[in-house]
Structure 1
Amino acid sequence: MSTTHLTQTRGRKWRVAGIAAAVIALPSISAAALTTAKAPVKAKIVHTPVSSPLRVRSDRPCPDNMAHVGTSCVDRYEGSLVEITAEGREVPFSPYAAPNGKNVRAVSRAGAVPQAHISMVEAKRACKASGKRLCRAGEWKAACKGPEATRYPYGNTRVAGACNDTNRVSPMNVLHRGERTARTMNDPLANQQERTVERTGDTASCTNGYGVSDMVGNVHEWTDDGSFRGGYYLDTKLNGEGCDYRTTAHAPTYYDYSTGFRCCADEGSLPDES
């Protein structure tokens, strides 16, 4: 089945408000008033410092959209992508298409469809383009388990539906009668089926004291050791329970409808917004 049905992620809409100049009608001034007018008082000039447009490192360990975990900053949300056009503009990149060779960078935003169809190679490149890196296995696991070091983000006992991992539908069964090939598993329609992937942060119970979301279920997340972690919406148990889920079966160039990512950085290395 061939399709080019791609949709954009829900992003922030920036509105630029225009500033209208008011035209004020001045009253007429008589000649007599002009001859008796006092000399104008010289205005005192106050110099107001102008903030620098340069992005500098913050005194805080992590930007608001990243969680402080040990000595690391971890994106609060699964990664999505923006593409940089030839004119230098950033436009949303489809989460239902592979970004191979595209000029993209990673962003972490609530309410976005997380990027799937991404390999470890492309995920590393996207994180680097945003001044970050792909999460290391240890820091990813620490962020997932939370300050209490539990098996799941929300506790030690699995709660069905607390993360996006219950009552889901296999898009391969719906679209391709169970056929699993490179072509079918990268069908752009896969994650557009109902009861598949959820927008970042929408499963409100799938978080912990660090404030990171969706680290179990939703989409697999590549880490820099060549594994992907946390499971996805159809499986969070086959290769380990919850935050201990780890798949090592695929090459760094592998991708399909289930593979996503998240970025990390060293504390104090990023500006306030990244």
Structure 2
Amino acid sequence: MKSATGWVLLAAAAACSKHDAPAPADTGAPSSSSSSSFAGSGASATGSIAASASPPAGVPRPGMIWIPPGVLRAGTPPDRVPRVADEELPGTEMVLGGYYIDILPYPNEAGAIPTSNVTRDEAARLCESKGKRLCGEFEWERACKGQGNSTYEYGDAYRAASCGTGAAIEHAARRPSGERVACKSDFGTMDMHGGVWEWTDSPWARSSSQPNLGVLRGGNALAGELVGRCANAIGRPVGSKGPTMGFRCCAGTRNAQTNDLVVKPGVPLERSVKPGDLGLPFVGLATKKWAVSESATFVPRQGWTWHPSANEELLIVTGCARADAAAGASDASVSGMSSASGGAGGCGVIIGRPPPVPSADPVILTTIESGRDAAEVVLFGDARHLRMRGLDLKGSFLREILYAYGRVDVGPVKR
């Protein structure tokens, strides 16, 4: 697990505005300018791949890849990180028909600088002039994820060097196409990350109150592990243009799926009136971790439901494992069950997700030692930042708990 400091820096770097749709994934996002004139960035479109009459589905088409019909797991499942829960579908399965997509960003030429400074409509017209069309955002995502629905085009583990991600978009957008041979999906599409952001013809939707936002995919940013994912997207007014905003073309019958994600905010931190019920799924794991004898059992003393962002619900349970836990549970004070007051054992905090189904195990994100007492947890600043108070032989201490894109990191002990 990365240090808390590292993920706080990532979170801070990736917290730029996305107009009406908050965009934690928008580090170094396109700098849009409605006054910019259309200009191809570098190579002229004159020598670009010639359009051909629409061939039968699957027949080779110059400069394009045929993406066969198949299942896309759209967005990011809750058990994968990083993820942007209020912008991405939770691994929703979609059946897409076959279609074609350009191998490289427009003008689809190896060695050319991707064309930029185009609005969405200008990009669509350039595709139409080649007998093509703009891609839908899920067509773009499937071409990136490949048959195996990987997190990145090259696999599930982040590798900055493969696509050159983790760099400022202003410089990365000027890179010639096709130079990074490892930046390739198993379908054969290249440079879907590391360079310009790419217009799609999809509306942003995602519960936005701005009807004129369009979806861009790909791109680059300092927060490369987050932005370099195939599921990542940003929303911009469709009339925007800028030196970091480009596109690539598709062809064939368009797949009509749109992102119907409902964004549901929640109470940031809500204390449970039944901590025993809330903590029940965690008792077995907590007993193994903190019990020092076979007769000890973990007893939840306090519990909270934590919503660090919209569409993200986590459970927090504090308690102690003591040999006489069962006998003392009914009259122990809510403030804690000190191991010094009788019985042997330890105390701690568990943070995780509810079981996906009642019979399944919960997803544990982190466990924290709290010493001799069940800890107290409070909000500290915004909804993504909590503070825990514990007690050990040296006295009371504090630890920061930070949420960043599906991960939970814990800071060092502070006295």
Q: Same fold (TM over 0.5)?
A: yes
Secondary structure in 1 matching 2:65: strand
Identity of aligned residues (%): 30
Quickly say closer, same or farther: Cα 1:245–1:7, change in 2 above 3 A. closer
Q: Distance in 1 between matches of 2:44 and 2:125?
A: 23
Deviation at 1:111, TM superposition (A): 1.4
Distance change >3 Å, CA 78–CA 230, structure 1 → 2: same
CA deviation after TM superposition for structure 1 residue 109, in Å = 1.4
Gaps of 5+ in 1: 1-5, 14-54, 81-107, 172-190, 268-274
The answer to which structure, 1 or 2, has the higher relative contact order (CA under 8 A, 6+ apart) is 1
Q: Does 1:227 align with 2:215?
A: yes
Which of 64, 67, 72 is residue 99 of structure 2 equivalent to? 72
Amino acid at match of 2:160: A
Structure 1 Cα separation of the partners of residues 230 and 117 of structure 2: 22
**Matched position secondary structure for 1:224:** strand
> Is the CA contact (8 Å cut-off) linking 1:216 and 1:236 kept in structure 2?
no
Q: Does 1:9 align with 2:43?
A: yes
Aligned counterparts of 1:202 and 1:227: Cα–Cα separation in 2: 26
TM-score by length of structure 2 reads 0.38
Q: RMSD over aligned Cα, in angstroms? A: 3.0
- When residues 203 and 223 of structure 1 are mapped into structure 2, their CA distance, relative to the original with a 3 A threshold, is same
Deviations 1:243-271 (A, max 9, x none): 111001x210101121110100117xxxx
Question: TM-score by structure 1 length?
Answer: 0.55
The residue number in structure 1 matching 2:242 is: 256
With over 3 angstroms needed to count, the CA separation of the structure-2 counterparts of 1:244 and 1:211, relative to structure 1, is same
Residue pair 2:105, 2:247 contacting (<8 A) in 1 also? yes
**Helix, strand or coil: the match of 1:127?**
helix
Q: Distance in 2 between matches of 1:7 and 1:126?
A: 14
Residues in 1 aligned to 2:240 and 2:186: alpha-carbon distance in whole angstroms: 32
**Counterpart in 1 of 2:160?**
160
245, 252, 259: which one aligns with 1:266: 252
Match of 2:25 in 1: none
- The 1:74–1:160 alpha-carbon spacing in structure 2 relative to 1, beyond 3 Å, is same
Contact 1:123 1:222 in 2 (8 A): yes
Deviation at 1:227, TM superposition (A): 0.5
Task: Quote the Cα distance in structure 1 between the aligned partners of 2:101 and 2:46.
Answer: 21
Question: Matches of residues 47-86 of structure 1 in structure 2 within 5 Å?
Answer: 56-58=53-55, 61-70=59-68, 71-80=98-107
| Post-superposition offset of 1:11 | 8.2
Q: Which residue in 2 is equivalent to 1:247?
A: 234
Instruction: Give a deviation string over 1:216-257, Cα, whole Å, max 9, x none.
Output: 22110111111101232555456x551111001x21010112
Would you say 1:209 and 2:186 are equivalent positions?
yes
- Name the counterpart of 1:131: 131
Q: 1:9 to 1:56 in 2, by over 3 A?
A: closer
Q: Contact 1:218/1:233 (CA < 8 Å) preserved in 2?
A: no
3-state DSSP class of the match of 1:162? helix
Q: For 1:222 and 1:253, how far apart are their aligned partners in 2?
A: 11
- Paired residues in the alignment total 172
After TM superposition, give the deviation of residue 137 of structure 1 in Å: 1.3
2:220–2:228 Cα contact (<8 Å) kept:
no
Question: Post-superposition shift, 1:79?
Answer: 0.7
Q: After the TM superposition, which residues 186-197 of structure 1 pair with which residues of structure 2 at under 5 Å, given as runs?
A: 197=174
Cα distance change, pair 197–261 in 1 and its aligned pair in 2 (3 A):
same
CA contact under 8 A between 1:164 and 1:197: conserved in structure 2? no
1:116-140 CA-to-partner distances (Å, cap 9, x unmatched) read 1111111111111111110011111
Q: Is the 8 A contact 1:231 1:246 kept in 2?
A: no
Q: Distance in 2 between matches of 1:117 and 1:228?
A: 13
Kept after mapping to 1: 8 A contact 2:41/2:174:
no
Q: Secondary structure at the match of 2:66?
A: strand
1:242 partner SS: coil
Secondary structure, aligned partner of 1:244: coil
Deviation at 1:112, TM superposition (A): 0.9
Distance 1:128 1:10, change over 3 A: closer
Aligned residue for 1:200? Answer: 177
AA aligned to 2:250 is: C
What is the one-letter code of the residue matched to 1:66?
A: M
